[in-house]
Amino acid sequence: MKLSQTFTVVEFLSRSKYGDPERGDDRLVITQNFVAVLDGATETSGARYDGLSSGRFVAEVGAQVLENLDAKITAIEAVQQLNQAVGESLLRVKPDKTPNYSPCFVMVVFSAARGEIWRVGDCQYLLDGKGNNPSLQVDVVTTKLRSLIVRSHLAQGKTIEELLQDDPSQKHLTTYYVLQTVFRNYLEDPFGYGTIDGTRVPDQYIEVIKIPEQTKSIVLASDGYPDLRVSLAESETALSEILAQDPLCYDLYLAQRGLSPDRESFDDRTYVRLELTSI
């Protein structure tokens, strides 16, 4: 992408799995130089930092850093600044109770000056409708395990409606969610993955995707969209269809949780679409 190109935000949405955006752990950042989606990890203990959920707290810290970054900063330099800010914030602010694991977030960032997409973790992107959005190996394992647990209860006579009211998989999986944090920013294992949590992110976990010059459209999103499309309406429709057919998210799409009486989706979701134009 030439530096003579600029961008326009066409549409965006950031919504929590509960419907109320203030309860979500995602954060959308839009500045003159950067557009970013930050996805804070949902923490099962309910611990809060300065009144915020752990994922929201560190995502807010990250957003403040991104809003003040130098336009031409590199991806590695940006991640270093983000990690430093998160680490300092977690030393300064203590949780109101013991968390099951330390806060973290993943992200996907568009750098206008450098003509690049940066990614740490499992957020998503599309360039003119095409992207490479693989799942983390640790999540593949835990979601398959959750599917097994749900299926075992259905096989024993429970109904989907009963499991939507009380999903027994969550109490079983808490231990595994804690175990998988061992692999954060850890290279010596196939289950390793990158995340912003105040510790060093190995360069291998910082993806830098050069945007081709002819690119016209960029979509950035959190993993709350199981079938990311080139428009917000299409992405929302695809999500609605999956949830209508598989509200427990154990069959058509495997997730760490499904719907419940207080949730409208299986995860927080954030979407932003940009158009690139020459100036």
* Closest among 3, 10, 5, 2 to 220, alpha carbons compared: 10
The pLDDT assigned to 45 comes to 87
The pLDDT assigned to 23 comes to 84
The pLDDT assigned to 20 comes to 81
User: For residues 233 and 244, what is the distance between their CA atoms, to the nearest angstrom?
Assistant: 16
Q: Cβ distance 26 to 224 under 8 Å? A: yes
DSSP string, 162-215: HHHHS-THHHHHHHHHHHHGGGBT--SSTT-B--BSSSPPPGGG-EEEEPPTT-
Per-10-residue mean pLDDT, the chain, length 279? 72 94 91 97 91 96 98 97 97 94 96 96 97 91 97 97 95 90 94 96 97 96 97 98 98 96 96 87
The pLDDT assigned to 1 comes to 43
Number of domains in the chain: 1
The enclosing domain of 206 has a CATH number of 3.60.40.10
Half-sphere exposure of 30 (CA within 13 A, CB side): 15
The pLDDT assigned to 166 comes to 95
- Residues of the domain holding 160: 5-278
Q: Cβ distance 43 to 79 under 8 Å? A: no
Per the listing, tokens 């560190």 go with 58
Q: Cβ distance 57 to 43 under 8 Å? A: no
